[in-house]
Amino acid sequence: MGSPSSRIGEQGRVVSGILAGSAAAPVGVWTGRFNLTVSGSFVGGIAIERSFDGGSNWHNCTLPNGAPNSWTSAFSVSLDEPEPGVLYRLNPALSSGNPTYRVSGAA
C-alpha cells in the first residue's frame, strides 16, 4: 500500500492513497459529513471500518440505507459521523488490482 496523502484546500480536507492486498489503510479521524470514493478495478472486497478507541478495536460500518458494507467494485458514498475523534479505515481483501481512494470533508 502506498502511504496516504493528506491536504487541506478550498474543498476542505482530502486524504487519498492506493489500496493493495489485505493492508488496511487508515484514512483519519472524520467528524460531520464526509465523502469516500474508491475507484479502479479490483478483485475482492473492501469494507469501511471505524474505531472509537484510537484503533485498538475496529467495527464494520453500517451504511445509511442499511445496506451491507462490502464492495466488490468501485463505489462512492457520503457518510456522517456525529461523534468527535472517530478513526476510519478501509479494510481490503484483494486478490488483484490496486484501487485508489479519496476521502474528503470539512477541514
User: Mean pLDDT of all residues in the chain?
Assistant: 88
HSE, CB side, 13 Å, CA atoms: give it for residue 100: 7
Residues linked to residue 94 through DSSP beta bridges, in sequence order: 44
Cα gap 20→32, rounded to integer Å: 28
What's the fold here for domain 14-105?
A: Jelly Rolls (2.60.120)
Instruction: Report yes or no: 45 and 96 within 8 Å, Cβ to Cβ.
Output: no
> Residues 10-47: pLDDT tens digits?
568 999 999 999 999 999 999 999 999 999 999 999 99
Residue 19 near residue 90, CB atoms below 8 Å: yes
For residues 88 and 82, give the distance between their C-alpha atoms in angstroms, rounded to a whole number: 13
Domain-wise residue ranges, the chain: 14-105
Confidence of residue 3 (pLDDT cuts 50, 70, 90): low
pTM of structure: 0.84
pLDDT confidence tier of residue 65, bands split at 50, 70 and 90: confident
